[in-house]
Amino acid sequence: MRFTKFLAFIAAAATLMVGCGGDNPEDVDKPKGGATLKSDVQSVEVNNPITFTVTAEDGTDITAEATIFDKTHNFAEVSNPFTPTEDGKYEFYAVAGNAITETIEVVVLPSIPALPADTNEASTEFKHRILLVDHTGNTCGYCPKMMLALKEVSETGDYHSKYYEAMSHSYASSDPATSASANAISSYFGITSYPTLTYNFAYSTSSSYNAEHIKSQIDAQWKESADAGIAASASLATSSVVVNAEVKAAVENEYRINAWLLEDGIVANQTNGTEEWMNTHNNAIRQAVKTNPISGMELGTIKAGEKASLAMSLEITSSKWVRDNLKVMVIASAKNANGKFEVVNVAICPVDGSVTYDYK
Protein backbone atom coordinates (compact mmCIF):
# COMPACT_ATOMS: atom_id res chain seq x y z
CA MET A 1 0.00 0.00 0.00
CA ARG A 2 1.22 3.51 -0.75
CA PHE A 3 -0.02 6.89 0.40
CA THR A 4 1.31 10.23 -0.73
CA LYS A 5 1.60 13.66 0.79
CA PHE A 6 2.90 16.58 -1.20
CA LEU A 7 4.72 19.08 0.99
CA ALA A 8 7.11 21.86 0.10
CA PHE A 9 9.29 24.55 1.57
CA ILE A 10 10.14 28.09 0.56
CA ALA A 11 13.16 29.48 2.43
CA ALA A 12 12.31 31.99 5.16
CA ALA A 13 8.54 31.43 4.82
CA ALA A 14 6.51 31.96 7.99
CA THR A 15 3.04 30.88 8.97
CA LEU A 16 0.66 33.78 8.38
CA MET A 17 -2.72 34.43 9.94
CA VAL A 18 -5.66 36.01 8.16
CA GLY A 19 -8.17 38.61 9.17
CA CYS A 20 -11.24 40.33 7.85
CA GLY A 21 -11.33 38.98 4.30
CA GLY A 22 -10.95 40.09 0.73
CA ASP A 23 -13.09 43.21 0.94
CA ASN A 24 -10.74 44.81 3.45
CA PRO A 25 -7.11 43.83 2.87
CA GLU A 26 -5.98 46.25 5.59
CA ASP A 27 -7.38 43.85 8.20
CA VAL A 28 -6.08 40.57 6.81
CA ASP A 29 -3.46 40.21 9.57
CA LYS A 30 -6.18 40.22 12.26
CA PRO A 31 -7.51 36.65 12.53
CA LYS A 32 -11.19 36.29 13.38
CA GLY A 33 -11.57 32.51 13.40
CA GLY A 34 -14.96 30.85 13.34
CA ALA A 35 -14.03 28.46 10.52
CA THR A 36 -11.17 26.37 9.16
CA LEU A 37 -9.88 26.26 5.60
CA LYS A 38 -8.15 23.14 4.26
CA SER A 39 -6.82 22.15 0.85
CA ASP A 40 -6.52 18.67 -0.58
CA VAL A 41 -2.79 19.21 -1.26
CA GLN A 42 0.00 21.20 0.35
CA SER A 43 1.99 21.28 -2.86
CA VAL A 44 1.00 20.60 -6.43
CA GLU A 45 2.32 20.86 -9.97
CA VAL A 46 1.41 23.96 -11.92
CA ASN A 47 -1.84 23.63 -13.97
CA ASN A 48 -3.25 21.08 -11.52
CA PRO A 49 -6.33 21.83 -9.37
CA ILE A 50 -6.46 22.67 -5.67
CA THR A 51 -9.74 21.81 -3.95
CA PHE A 52 -10.72 23.65 -0.77
CA THR A 53 -12.94 22.66 2.15
CA VAL A 54 -14.26 25.09 4.75
CA THR A 55 -15.54 23.78 8.06
CA ALA A 56 -17.39 25.67 10.81
CA GLU A 57 -16.32 25.43 14.46
CA ASP A 58 -19.02 22.79 15.10
CA GLY A 59 -17.70 20.64 12.25
CA THR A 60 -20.34 21.60 9.70
CA ASP A 61 -19.15 21.76 6.10
CA ILE A 62 -19.78 25.34 4.93
CA THR A 63 -17.71 25.18 1.75
CA ALA A 64 -20.69 26.09 -0.44
CA GLU A 65 -21.19 29.32 1.53
CA ALA A 66 -17.54 30.34 1.51
CA THR A 67 -15.54 32.64 -0.75
CA ILE A 68 -11.86 31.79 -1.23
CA PHE A 69 -9.25 34.56 -1.58
CA ASP A 70 -5.65 34.39 -2.82
CA LYS A 71 -3.82 36.68 -0.42
CA THR A 72 -0.55 36.38 -2.33
CA HIS A 73 -1.98 37.80 -5.54
CA ASN A 74 -3.77 40.98 -4.49
CA PHE A 75 -6.46 39.24 -2.46
CA ALA A 76 -8.10 37.99 -5.64
CA GLU A 77 -11.20 35.84 -5.31
CA VAL A 78 -10.57 32.37 -6.73
CA SER A 79 -12.74 29.49 -7.81
CA ASN A 80 -13.07 26.19 -5.96
CA PRO A 81 -11.40 24.08 -7.29
CA PHE A 82 -8.67 26.55 -8.28
CA THR A 83 -6.03 25.76 -10.90
CA PRO A 84 -2.83 27.81 -10.59
CA THR A 85 -1.08 28.68 -13.84
CA GLU A 86 2.15 29.95 -12.25
CA ASP A 87 4.49 28.25 -9.82
CA GLY A 88 5.34 29.76 -6.43
CA LYS A 89 3.94 30.10 -2.93
CA TYR A 90 0.22 30.79 -2.60
CA GLU A 91 -1.60 31.84 0.59
CA PHE A 92 -5.35 31.39 0.76
CA TYR A 93 -8.08 32.27 3.25
CA ALA A 94 -11.85 31.96 3.21
CA VAL A 95 -14.78 34.15 4.23
CA ALA A 96 -18.13 32.58 5.12
CA GLY A 97 -20.63 34.98 6.68
CA ASN A 98 -18.91 36.46 9.73
CA ALA A 99 -16.32 33.68 9.85
CA ILE A 100 -12.81 34.40 8.60
CA THR A 101 -10.32 31.55 8.43
CA GLU A 102 -6.61 31.60 9.05
CA THR A 103 -4.42 31.44 5.96
CA ILE A 104 -3.10 28.21 4.56
CA GLU A 105 -0.13 27.82 2.24
CA VAL A 106 0.06 25.77 -0.93
CA VAL A 107 3.31 25.66 -2.90
CA VAL A 108 2.92 25.23 -6.64
CA LEU A 109 5.88 23.44 -8.22
CA PRO A 110 6.90 23.70 -11.89
CA SER A 111 7.09 19.89 -12.05
CA ILE A 112 7.53 16.92 -9.72
CA PRO A 113 10.08 14.33 -10.88
CA ALA A 114 8.93 10.72 -11.02
CA LEU A 115 10.25 8.34 -8.39
CA PRO A 116 12.54 5.50 -9.51
CA ALA A 117 11.14 1.98 -9.64
CA ASP A 118 11.37 -0.19 -6.54
CA THR A 119 13.64 -3.03 -7.59
CA ASN A 120 12.56 -5.35 -4.77
CA GLU A 121 8.99 -4.67 -3.64
CA ALA A 122 8.94 -7.61 -1.22
CA SER A 123 12.07 -6.61 0.71
CA THR A 124 12.46 -4.35 3.74
CA GLU A 125 16.15 -5.14 4.31
CA PHE A 126 17.89 -1.81 3.79
CA LYS A 127 21.50 -0.76 4.16
CA HIS A 128 21.87 1.70 7.03
CA ARG A 129 23.71 5.03 7.02
CA ILE A 130 23.88 7.45 9.91
CA LEU A 131 24.21 11.22 9.58
CA LEU A 132 27.42 13.00 10.52
CA VAL A 133 27.43 16.80 10.56
CA ASP A 134 30.80 18.53 10.81
CA HIS A 135 30.37 22.06 12.18
CA THR A 136 33.29 23.87 10.65
CA GLY A 137 34.62 26.90 8.77
CA ASN A 138 37.41 27.80 6.39
CA THR A 139 38.89 30.32 8.87
CA CYS A 140 38.68 27.91 11.81
CA GLY A 141 42.26 27.16 12.83
CA TYR A 142 41.54 23.80 14.47
CA CYS A 143 39.14 22.50 11.81
CA PRO A 144 41.83 20.85 9.67
CA LYS A 145 42.33 18.39 12.54
CA MET A 146 38.72 17.20 12.10
CA MET A 147 39.19 17.09 8.34
CA LEU A 148 42.16 14.78 8.79
CA ALA A 149 40.27 12.59 11.28
CA LEU A 150 37.28 12.20 8.95
CA LYS A 151 39.60 11.35 6.06
CA GLU A 152 41.22 8.65 8.18
CA VAL A 153 37.80 7.21 9.14
CA SER A 154 36.63 7.21 5.52
CA GLU A 155 39.73 5.25 4.49
CA THR A 156 39.44 2.66 7.28
CA GLY A 157 37.77 -0.61 6.31
CA ASP A 158 34.10 -0.19 5.37
CA TYR A 159 33.38 2.77 7.66
CA HIS A 160 32.49 5.16 4.85
CA SER A 161 29.65 2.85 3.79
CA LYS A 162 28.06 3.38 7.21
CA TYR A 163 27.44 7.13 7.09
CA TYR A 164 26.98 10.25 5.00
CA GLU A 165 28.47 13.55 6.09
CA ALA A 166 27.32 17.14 5.69
CA MET A 167 29.50 20.15 6.40
CA SER A 168 27.83 22.97 8.32
CA HIS A 169 30.05 25.99 7.65
CA SER A 170 28.84 28.22 10.48
CA TYR A 171 32.10 29.46 12.00
CA ALA A 172 32.25 32.80 10.17
CA SER A 173 30.05 34.84 7.86
CA SER A 174 33.03 35.46 5.56
CA ASP A 175 33.19 31.75 4.68
CA PRO A 176 32.02 31.28 1.04
CA ALA A 177 30.63 27.87 2.03
CA THR A 178 28.35 29.21 4.77
CA SER A 179 24.57 29.67 4.51
CA ALA A 180 21.57 30.64 6.61
CA SER A 181 20.57 26.97 6.81
CA ALA A 182 24.03 25.93 8.00
CA ASN A 183 23.88 28.55 10.73
CA ALA A 184 20.40 27.39 11.79
CA ILE A 185 21.48 23.74 11.90
CA SER A 186 24.56 24.48 14.00
CA SER A 187 22.39 26.62 16.27
CA TYR A 188 19.97 23.72 16.70
CA PHE A 189 22.85 21.56 17.94
CA GLY A 190 24.01 24.35 20.27
CA ILE A 191 27.46 24.53 18.73
CA THR A 192 29.77 26.88 20.60
CA SER A 193 33.19 25.44 19.74
CA TYR A 194 34.75 24.39 16.44
CA PRO A 195 35.23 21.87 15.04
CA THR A 196 32.40 19.73 16.43
CA LEU A 197 30.97 16.57 14.93
CA THR A 198 27.36 15.63 15.71
CA TYR A 199 25.56 12.37 15.00
CA ASN A 200 21.90 12.18 13.93
CA PHE A 201 19.18 14.46 15.31
CA ALA A 202 18.48 12.95 18.72
CA TYR A 203 22.05 12.93 19.99
CA SER A 204 23.96 15.78 21.60
CA THR A 205 27.11 13.66 21.45
CA SER A 206 30.00 15.40 19.76
CA SER A 207 33.46 14.09 19.09
CA SER A 208 36.91 15.47 19.36
CA TYR A 209 39.06 15.34 16.24
CA ASN A 210 40.09 11.80 17.04
CA ALA A 211 39.51 9.13 14.41
CA GLU A 212 39.16 6.31 16.93
CA HIS A 213 36.52 8.24 18.88
CA ILE A 214 34.58 8.94 15.68
CA LYS A 215 34.67 5.25 14.74
CA SER A 216 33.42 4.28 18.20
CA GLN A 217 30.45 6.65 17.81
CA ILE A 218 29.63 5.21 14.40
CA ASP A 219 29.86 1.66 15.77
CA ALA A 220 27.48 2.56 18.62
CA GLN A 221 24.76 3.91 16.31
CA TRP A 222 25.06 1.87 13.12
CA LYS A 223 22.68 -1.06 12.52
CA GLU A 224 23.00 -4.12 10.32
CA SER A 225 19.62 -3.24 8.77
CA ALA A 226 17.91 0.16 8.73
CA ASP A 227 14.41 0.80 10.06
CA ALA A 228 13.47 2.36 6.71
CA GLY A 229 14.75 2.89 3.19
CA ILE A 230 14.75 5.97 0.96
CA ALA A 231 14.12 6.46 -2.75
CA ALA A 232 14.24 9.90 -4.37
CA SER A 233 14.40 11.92 -7.57
CA ALA A 234 15.51 15.55 -7.97
CA SER A 235 15.22 18.05 -10.79
CA LEU A 236 16.57 21.55 -11.30
CA ALA A 237 13.94 24.28 -11.75
CA THR A 238 14.47 27.97 -12.50
CA SER A 239 15.33 28.97 -8.94
CA SER A 240 15.02 25.77 -6.94
CA VAL A 241 15.66 22.05 -6.82
CA VAL A 242 12.47 20.00 -6.64
CA VAL A 243 12.77 16.72 -4.74
CA ASN A 244 10.34 13.82 -4.74
CA ALA A 245 11.21 11.44 -1.91
CA GLU A 246 9.72 8.20 -0.64
CA VAL A 247 10.23 6.29 2.60
CA LYS A 248 9.57 2.54 2.86
CA ALA A 249 9.29 1.27 6.42
CA ALA A 250 10.86 -1.89 7.75
CA VAL A 251 9.59 -1.06 11.24
CA GLU A 252 6.20 0.55 11.90
CA ASN A 253 6.70 4.00 13.39
CA GLU A 254 5.95 7.72 13.00
CA TYR A 255 8.26 9.09 10.32
CA ARG A 256 9.46 12.46 9.13
CA ILE A 257 11.58 13.43 6.15
CA ASN A 258 13.92 16.30 5.40
CA ALA A 259 16.10 17.28 2.45
CA TRP A 260 19.28 19.34 2.45
CA LEU A 261 20.86 20.92 -0.59
CA LEU A 262 24.61 20.34 -0.58
CA GLU A 263 27.33 21.86 -2.75
CA ASP A 264 30.71 20.37 -3.68
CA GLY A 265 33.84 22.00 -5.02
CA ILE A 266 33.81 25.31 -3.11
CA VAL A 267 37.35 26.67 -3.29
CA ALA A 268 38.44 28.67 -0.25
CA ASN A 269 41.77 28.74 1.57
CA GLN A 270 41.61 26.70 4.78
CA THR A 271 43.32 28.35 7.73
CA ASN A 272 46.09 26.06 9.03
CA GLY A 273 45.43 23.64 6.20
CA THR A 274 48.30 21.19 5.83
CA GLU A 275 47.31 19.64 2.48
CA GLU A 276 46.05 21.14 -0.77
CA TRP A 277 42.78 19.15 -0.78
CA MET A 278 41.71 21.02 2.37
CA ASN A 279 41.15 24.16 0.28
CA THR A 280 38.28 22.52 -1.65
CA HIS A 281 35.14 22.14 0.45
CA ASN A 282 32.54 19.49 -0.33
CA ASN A 283 29.13 18.57 1.11
CA ALA A 284 28.50 22.15 2.27
CA ILE A 285 24.93 22.72 3.49
CA ARG A 286 23.28 25.38 1.32
CA GLN A 287 19.56 24.90 1.98
CA ALA A 288 17.18 22.78 4.05
CA VAL A 289 13.51 22.02 3.61
CA LYS A 290 13.07 22.67 7.31
CA THR A 291 15.38 23.63 10.16
CA ASN A 292 12.68 23.93 12.84
CA PRO A 293 12.02 21.11 13.49
CA ILE A 294 15.27 19.85 12.02
CA SER A 295 13.67 16.41 11.55
CA GLY A 296 11.59 17.84 8.73
CA MET A 297 8.05 17.20 7.50
CA GLU A 298 5.49 14.76 8.87
CA LEU A 299 4.82 11.55 6.98
CA GLY A 300 2.63 10.07 9.72
CA THR A 301 2.70 6.44 10.78
CA ILE A 302 4.02 4.04 8.15
CA LYS A 303 3.44 0.32 8.64
CA ALA A 304 6.15 -2.20 7.84
CA GLY A 305 6.33 -2.77 4.09
CA GLU A 306 4.33 0.35 3.27
CA LYS A 307 5.51 3.62 1.74
CA ALA A 308 4.88 7.35 2.00
CA SER A 309 6.15 10.00 -0.39
CA LEU A 310 6.25 13.77 -0.59
CA ALA A 311 7.51 16.51 -2.89
CA MET A 312 9.71 19.30 -1.56
CA SER A 313 11.31 22.44 -2.94
CA LEU A 314 14.79 23.66 -2.05
CA GLU A 315 15.22 27.30 -3.04
CA ILE A 316 18.46 28.46 -4.67
CA THR A 317 18.98 31.82 -3.00
CA SER A 318 22.43 32.81 -4.27
CA SER A 319 23.85 33.22 -7.73
CA LYS A 320 27.21 32.11 -6.30
CA TRP A 321 26.00 28.54 -5.78
CA VAL A 322 27.30 26.44 -8.66
CA ARG A 323 24.31 24.48 -9.91
CA ASP A 324 26.41 21.77 -11.52
CA ASN A 325 27.92 21.05 -8.08
CA LEU A 326 24.64 20.67 -6.19
CA LYS A 327 23.20 17.42 -4.82
CA VAL A 328 20.45 16.52 -2.37
CA MET A 329 20.78 14.73 0.96
CA VAL A 330 17.48 13.07 1.95
CA ILE A 331 17.11 12.27 5.66
CA ALA A 332 14.47 9.93 7.13
CA SER A 333 13.83 10.03 10.88
CA ALA A 334 11.47 8.25 13.26
CA LYS A 335 10.46 8.45 16.91
CA ASN A 336 12.79 6.75 19.36
CA ALA A 337 12.01 5.43 22.85
CA ASN A 338 12.28 8.96 24.26
CA GLY A 339 9.75 10.37 21.81
CA LYS A 340 12.40 12.27 19.85
CA PHE A 341 12.91 11.98 16.12
CA GLU A 342 16.15 10.18 15.38
CA VAL A 343 17.72 9.68 11.97
CA VAL A 344 17.04 6.16 10.70
CA ASN A 345 18.61 6.46 7.25
CA VAL A 346 20.19 8.88 4.80
CA ALA A 347 20.48 8.93 1.00
CA ILE A 348 22.25 11.14 -1.53
CA CYS A 349 20.37 12.02 -4.73
CA PRO A 350 22.00 13.75 -7.70
CA VAL A 351 20.24 16.78 -9.20
CA ASP A 352 18.45 15.74 -12.40
CA GLY A 353 18.86 12.16 -11.26
CA SER A 354 17.50 9.62 -8.80
CA VAL A 355 18.45 7.12 -6.14
CA THR A 356 16.50 3.93 -5.50
CA TYR A 357 16.20 1.87 -2.35
CA ASP A 358 19.58 0.53 -1.23
CA TYR A 359 18.82 -3.05 -0.28
CA LYS A 360 21.20 -5.31 1.59
pLDDT digits (tens, 9 = 90+) for 109-168: 888 999 999 999 999 999 999 999 999 999 999 999 999 999 999 999 999 999 999 999
Using CA atoms, how far apart are residues 327 and 283, in angstroms rounded to an integer?
Answer: 8
User: pLDDT tens digits for 65-86?
Assistant: 999 999 999 999 999 999 999 9
Distance CA 278, CA 150 (A): 12
Tell me if 244 sits within 8 A of 328, measured CB to CB. Answer: no
List the helix and strand counts (H, then E) for the chain. 3, 24
| Count, residues in the chain | 360
- The tens digit of pLDDT for each residue in 166-202 reads 999 999 999 999 999 999 999 999 999 999 999 999 8
Nearest CA-CA partner of 213 in 193, 199, 194, 192 = 199
Is it the case that residue 270 has pLDDT exceeding 60? yes
d(C-alpha 204, C-alpha 199), whole Å: 8
